[in-house]
Amino acid sequence: MKINKLFTTLLGVLLVVAMLAGCAPAPAPAAPAAPAAAAPAAEGKMYIPVISKGFQHQFWQAVKAGSEKAAKDLNVEITFEGPESEAMVDKQMEMLQTALDKKPAAVCFAAVDSKAAIPLLEKAKAANIPVIGFDSGVDSDIPVTTAATDNIAAAAMAADKMAELVGGEGKVAVIAHDQTSRTGIDRVKGFVDQMKAKYPKIEVLTPQYGAGDQLKSTDIAKAVIQANPDLKGYFGANEGSIIGVLNAVKELKMEGKIVVIGYDSGQQQMDAIRAGTEAGAITQDPIGIGYKCVEAAVKAVKGESLPKTIDTGFHWYDKTNIDDATIAPLLYK
């Protein structure tokens, strides 16, 4: 009996509690979760991907060092990447698309193919992502600025030096990395146009292109030299190209018989200049290029005005000034 009465009492209490709960207002729905932020945003830093034309040459490593210094000085987050070869247009487009998918504050971009990149850069513009060109510009008005060497003027200086060293007449050759990037186009144009305008007695052979690959450039240079035994000079328009020329000259035992002029630096080229195998070269300021492109990106995000181009400068160097205080910091090994 006592058990039955106790059970009845408990059942009554439970019924009262259930009724009270049914009358209570429904709890407010939970607030939606905030979308997960990308790692740079989580740290409260502006994120700027830096996409170069390549990664294999020491030139790009120097650009990377400059961009990393700017990121540290300006307290922003960057990533730096480029395809294994400066001929890999599709790979670079994949990198650019991936970078844009992360919704960066801005993007720094050196185009392998200045036309192929335009559709993706139009997407960046539509998304209000400022594009900063560096080293190699883009045939478009989308980049708010481009931090680069005046490659036409720099190559024209190389032509002047070549003309002087070959005595103002004879046959010279040119090898460049490509004919699709702004640097490849402008360096060939600057050299060839200067020769045509100022040195009519110098014949410039049809420019050749080795994709910036040392082995391919070596094979091309050897073929050109062997086909032209009266060749007096050879201009290599980037690091990979000029190393190919140096390799060819050495393998064919033509050291000292052909005036060799290069672009950029690197240990092999610097050694050749000191040894006299290479007459000299044009140096850019790769660290400055990397620094100024990131600096410009930060200014663009903040709405500051920028010039259409940021001239990062160039210099001629040879064995007489390679160790000068104004030149040595611009050279990389």
- pLDDT tens over the chain, length 333 residues: 333 443 344 334 333 334 333 433 333 333 333 233 334 444 689 999 999 999 878 899 999 999 999 999 999 999 999 999 888 999 999 999 999 999 999 999 999 998 999 999 999 999 999 999 999 878 789 999 999 999 999 999 999 999 999 999 999 999 999 999 999 999 999 999 999 999 999 999 999 999 999 999 999 999 999 999 999 999 999 999 999 999 999 999 999 999 999 999 999 999 999 999 999 999 999 999 999 999 999 999 999 999 999 999 999 999 999 999 999 999 998
How far apart CA 16 and CA 22 sit, in angstroms, is: 10
How far apart CA 118 and CA 115 sit, in angstroms, is: 6
Q: According to the model, what pLDDT value does residue 15 have?
A: 37
Q: According to the model, what pLDDT value does residue 87 have?
A: 87
Q: According to the model, what pLDDT value does residue 288 have?
A: 96
- CATH 3.40.50.2300 range(s) for the chain read 43-149+286-313, 151-283
Q: According to the model, what pLDDT value does residue 37 have?
A: 31
CATH architecture of the domain with range 151-283: 3-Layer(aba) Sandwich (3.40)
Amino acid at 212: G
Q: According to the model, what pLDDT value does residue 85 have?
A: 87
Q: According to the model, what pLDDT value does residue 137 have?
A: 74
Structural class in CATH, domain 43-149+286-313: alpha beta
How far apart CA 147 and CA 168 sit, in angstroms, is: 34
How far apart CA 248 and CA 246 sit, in angstroms, is: 5
DSSP 136: B
| Angle, vertex CA 166, rays to CA 161 and CA 167, nearest 5 | 100
Distances (CA, A) of 63 to 58, 147, 246, 280: 9, 11, 24, 22
Can you give the three-state secondary structure of 144-209, one letter per residue? Answer: CEEEECCHHHHHHHHHHHHHHHHCCCEEEEEEECCCCCHHHHHHHHHHHHHHHHHCCCEEECCCEE
Segments of the chain assigned E as strands: 47-51, 77-81, 107-109, 131-134, 145-148, 170-176, 202-204, 208-209, 231-236, 259-263, 280-283, 309-311, 315-317
pTM of the predicted structure, to 2 decimals: 0.80
How far apart CA 182 and CA 177 sit, in angstroms, is: 11
Q: According to the model, what pLDDT value does residue 43 have?
A: 60
